[in-house]
Structures are given as C-alpha cells and as structure tokens.
Amino acid sequence: MGQVKVFGYWPSPYSRRVEIALKIKGVEYEYVEEDLQNKSRELLLYNPVHKKIPVLVHAGNPIAESFVVLEYIDETWKGNPLLPSDPYERAQARFWAKFFDDKLLPAVRSALYNASEGEEAQKVNEDAEEVLKTLEKEVKGKKFLGGNEIGFLDIVGIVAAYWMPTLQEAADNKRQVSSHM
C-alpha cells in the first residue's frame, strides 16, 4: 500500500494522536522525531505552508494538520473505524474534536502554564473550568467519548487526559483541573 512515515514530536498531543490512530489501525510506520529548534529539510519540504509537525507521508504524499491526517487514516485503512458511519454522529465527533482543540487545550494549557497570580490567574482558571464542565456534560454516562467503541474523540482527548495530572503537578496548580477529567 505504500510506505508510511510520521514526522512528530513526542510531547505534542497532535503528534501522538496520529500515532495512536495508526496503531489502532495496525499500520506500520517509520517515525522521525523532529527537533523543533532545528527542523529537518524533509519536514520543511513536506509541510512548507505551516512547517509544523505532525506530518504523515504515505507513498510519498504528505498530509499535515492532525485532524486532516486522522480523517485520511480513517479513509485509507478501513479496519477499526475511528469515525462513526452515521453522518450526524460524524458531525458531532468533528464538532467536539474542534471544540477540544480550539477551546479546551488552549484553556487548560493557559491555566497550567501561564497562570501567574491574582486576577489573571483566576480568569484563566475559570475559563478552563467552564470548558471542562461543558465537555463533562457531553461525557456523562458514556464509556468512551464516541459511545461504546474507542474512536476519534477518544484519540483526540486521550493524550490530554493522560498528561493532565502530570502537567498539573508540574505547574503546582492548586485548582482542581484534573477532578473534571
């Protein structure tokens, strides 16, 4: 089917989600760890527009932007589908994935990393809690975010959830961010 190569960066959740998807599909791939301070010529060649990881290269064709990559993976390797088959359910998964990236990750990252003191920290933590509460309403009662099978949203969310407690410890954040996860 053509060789698969992933250009990634191990701390990046965007990079990890691509690897998880490939593993779920049982696809073998070659992994290239990028030094973001010194990006490889290949990475810049394959993603000239954004110059970012992750990039998936399949049979010489490069695909960038993690959600675009996940959809490509799902459409190319049919076993263990990541997205539901019903168009409405697919739309819901895509909506929540976007919410996750546009709202949740930045809010939580802000709360954990940038929180300085006082009012600013307060606001940032409130934003993160607000977002987490919204997501929690969605997760209630479900085994996985996508329903009963692990899927798209779980892949997107899993890395952040796994790392949340560690990041929280590292940031010495007393707010109960992880109690919502």
Partner 1 sequence: EKNMGGGEEVVVLDFWRSPYAMRVKVALEEKGVKYVTKEEDLGNKSPLLLEMNPVHKLTPVLIHNGNPISESLVILQYIDEVWPHSSPLLPSDPYLRSRVRFWGDFVDKKIYAAAKKLWPAKGEEQETAKREFIESLKLLEEELKDGPFFKGDKFGYVDVALVPLTSWFYALEMCGNFSIEAHCPKIIAWAKTCQQRESVAKSLPHPHKIYDYVLELKKRLGLE
Binding mask 97-116 for partner 1 (x = CB under 8 A): -xx-----------------
Judged by beta carbon, residue 52 or residue 173, the one nearer partner 1 is 52
Task: Give the number of other Cβ atoms within 10 Å of residue 95's Cβ.
Answer: 12
Query: Is 88 a residue that touches partner 1 (CB under 8 A)?
Result: yes
Q: What is the CA radius of gyration of the chain?
A: 17
* Lookup: tokens for 12: 């990046």
**Which segment (16-24, 81-89, 113-121, 155-163) binds partner 1 by CB under 8 A?**
81-89
Query: Is 31 a residue that touches partner 1 (CB under 8 A)?
Result: no
Query: Is 87 a residue that touches partner 1 (CB under 8 A)?
Result: yes
List the 4-8 sheet strands across, edge first: 30-33, 4-8, 55-58, 61-64
Residues 138 to 167 in contact with partner 1, rule: CB under 8 A = none
